[in-house]
Amino acid sequence: MGEVNLQVKLGRLVLQNPVMVASGTFGYGEEYTQLVDLNQLGGIVVKGLSLKPKVGNPPPRLVEVPCGLINAIGLENIGVERFIKEKLPFLKQFKAKIIVNIFGYSPEEYAQLAEILSPTGIDAIEVNISCPNIKEGGRLFGTDPQTAALITKSVCEHTHLPVFVKLSPQVTDIVAIAKAVMEAGADGVSMINTIPAMAVDIHTRRPKLGNVTGGLSGPCLKPIALKLVWEVVKALDIPVIGIGGITCAEDALEFLITGAKAIQIGTANFVNPQTAIEVIAGIRHYLEDCQLKDIHELIGSLELSF
């Protein structure tokens, strides 16, 4: 049997394979170069960027919980201008596609970020409307279809690049949010982001995080993420990038079979930096074992009858 085809197309974005590393878990890429061959990755989603540098939340910022991790980093980053000057030239030497995650506090800020990044040579923009630490009038951008659409439209109108919107699970109807951003011009959706959570130290009777609450990620999220991905792919014709608790090839295969066209690996990067490389190899071996020549024979192949 010949070499299997792992290439996937997400709207206008073509990846050499469906495995990416998630924003906030892989720094700006350079931090992992001694541990991971970046040329093997489908894409690198860099740490979320804002117009100006951001300090983030007070420590402690991370706490382990059963089957997961709660983070309250607070979107600390170096700002878009420093990223372009100091980090982007390094990333451009690799085959992996460069996707830049952005966030802002108004539609105008999102639009500015998109406009600044458009001519830099990156491959796509991921729009974070779902971080539980970022509020606008006490409300998340990503919990209301109209607001989510407004942010998406403001980004799409200021860039020629493919745009993917990262969705929050903290909504009543995630399909409605996905539909709204799709109609506003998004090329696809990334889902899901973290779930708000907290942990308490019984000895000090204090929160374990300096910010009190944070975002829960890791293996405990996978069944939730998988169910929400399934809801969106069965309802809408839009590329979905599956995120949530992927630690091995089997996890990634579940998302692909369910209908995600690509996946992102997040928390697992902290445990085993080689996870993404192992997942790529595992997907290839699975296709070979099943005598499938193309990954598209696998994507969306879920059988609902028993």
Q: Residue 131 catalytic?
A: yes
Residue of 131, 156, 220, 248 marked active site: 131
Closest to 189 measured CA to CA, from 135, 139, 244, 134: 244
What are the tokens at 3? 């070499």
Q: Which residue shows structure tokens 């970020």?
A: 113
Chain-centre distance for alpha carbon 132: 14
What are the catalytic residues? Answer: 131
